[in-house]
Structure 1
């Protein structure tokens, strides 16, 4: 008899946990849909909200753009050099440039930009959670309303999404320039072959998939932590110094990357 009761309790606990998880995911999707509608609404961008949004974009993008670009350029330079030298040693130099573009530009740069913005948001959350002297102006426990969504949530979501898109696009262009310089040097005579190779990689389907994947990355990084913070504040749960929704965000990024690879190569 006790064994049956314990089994019943375990199944009931699993059922409640499943329902809570489904409700949490639905609330995240619902919040993302509301924020997207408000972000596309012209009435959101009054003078005050435009100023708030510009401040968040400056803090999330412009302040980190130089040193993230330097870090990504250094990493890309090393990786490009390794790929080119290895391809030359094995007589596969004709495939070196395509491999660099496919691995770095299509896969690593968008994912690294999304992870960088997510980790930076996590460090900001930890600093705010551990410091009481200067509390954050954003209070997740405050009741949500349309005015608060427009003034607090939408600017932060837009800033996070804009940061991922900007870092990914700018560094993709820098990687393409570095790849040309390493393969052809400063000579302009390599431009026809280079543009032909890059154009062969970036056909219509690949370009569309790259753009959609980057947009989905930016939306995930912007919406998932915000929805988790609001949910944790509403339920009075503690994140133990970890950014709310970190595990869910990494899961969403992994699913987006996996779906992109499946659609592209299978």
Structure 2
């Protein structure tokens, strides 16, 4: 008498976890391929010849002025609130240090990453998915060109450049506004202000800050584009690919922020 072997109860529960791990592995693999292309001379040559400069301008140009102005206005409001509140409690000597730590170290890089994702890399990922669905990848392969280096790499580098540019420019504007709010337009408090900023940006904090901004820009540029390449080139999978990209991007950004906080304050 034949008896059917009972199914193992743990396999069904492990299947979603295995699929999740396999998806992340594919993301890491494709990201590594894109990193090799970005570092190779041939990959950069193909990217330059296929409109890298145009992608850089297109990714950062339209949102640069708007994001800088919005950041300046919000930063000015927060700076005034912090300075007035600290003065009322007799803690004026800590106001500027708090402003630099909260705005420059934490909020502005995160805002630049999220703004760059919504306005640059997510639309570019949708373009890549559309080009792939229309057969542009196969057409380039028939011509002997690498579609990753031709279509994906310029957009990835443009997304990274946009986030770095937004973060750098907004941080500089915020530092200038903080000085003007505390000391006016004269240079009398410049030496004291530079000492305060230097006390915040110690060598370890500066290294963590630069690493965080670069990792945020890399995640914003890498995850949405690679996610649409991971899924089959079909219209039906487009919405799920975009949702997967958003969820993965949120998790990676959260992990980067948590690691930076641990490195700065523990």
Match of 1:132 in 2: none
**What's the offset of the Cα at 1:13?**
3.0
Q: Distance in 2 between matches of 1:213 and 1:157?
A: 18
Moved over 4 A (4+): 125-129, 135-146, 240-244
Match of 2:155 in 1: 156
Match of 1:254 in 2: 254
Quickly say closer, same or farther: Cα 1:51–1:149, change in 2 above 3 A. closer
2:38 is equivalent to residue 42 of structure 1: no
Quickly say closer, same or farther: Cα 1:245–1:126, change in 2 above 3 A. closer
Secondary structure class of the residue paired with 2:231:
helix
Contact 1:125–1:243 (CA<8 Å) still a contact in 2? no
Contact 2:112–2:167 (CA<8 Å) still a contact in 1? yes
- Alignment of structure 1 residues 61-210 onto 2, 5 Å: 61-121=60-120, 124=123, 136-137=130-131, 139=133, 142=137, 147-210=146-209
2:265 is equivalent to residue 245 of structure 1: no
Secondary structure class of the residue paired with 1:187:
coil
Deviations 1:153-176 (A, max 9, x none): 111110111111110011000000
Gap runs ≥5 in structure 2: 1-5
2:263 is equivalent to residue 263 of structure 1: yes
Contact 2:37–2:153 (CA<8 Å) still a contact in 1? yes
Q: Distance in 2 between matches of 1:89 and 1:214?
A: 34
- 136-145 vs 112-121, which deviates more? 136-145
Deviations 1:185-228 (A, max 9, x none): 11111100011110111110010000000010011001111111
Q: Distance in 2 between matches of 1:90 and 1:217?
A: 36
Quickly say closer, same or farther: Cα 1:228–1:86, change in 2 above 3 A. same
Q: Distance in 2 between matches of 1:14 and 1:147?
A: 39
Q: What's the C-alpha RMSD, in Å, of the aligned pairs?
A: 2.7
Contact 1:38–1:150 (CA<8 Å) still a contact in 2? yes
- Alignment of structure 1 residues 19-38 onto 2, 5 Å: 19-38=18-37
Deviations 1:34-91 (A, max 9, x none): 1111111122233763451111111110121001101111110111111111100110
Contact 2:76–2:177 (CA<8 Å) still a contact in 1? yes
Match of 2:3 in 1: none
Contact 1:102–1:201 (CA<8 Å) still a contact in 2? yes
Contact 1:84–1:96 (CA<8 Å) still a contact in 2? yes
Match of 1:13 in 2: 12
- 118-127 vs 256-265, which deviates more? 118-127
Match of 1:228 in 2: 227
**What's the offset of the Cα at 1:244?**
4.4
Give the TM-score of the pair, scaled to structure 1: 0.87
Contact 1:109–1:168 (CA<8 Å) still a contact in 2? yes
Give the TM-score of the pair, scaled to structure 2: 0.87
Match of 1:212 in 2: 211
Q: Distance in 1 between matches of 2:134 and 2:18?
A: 23
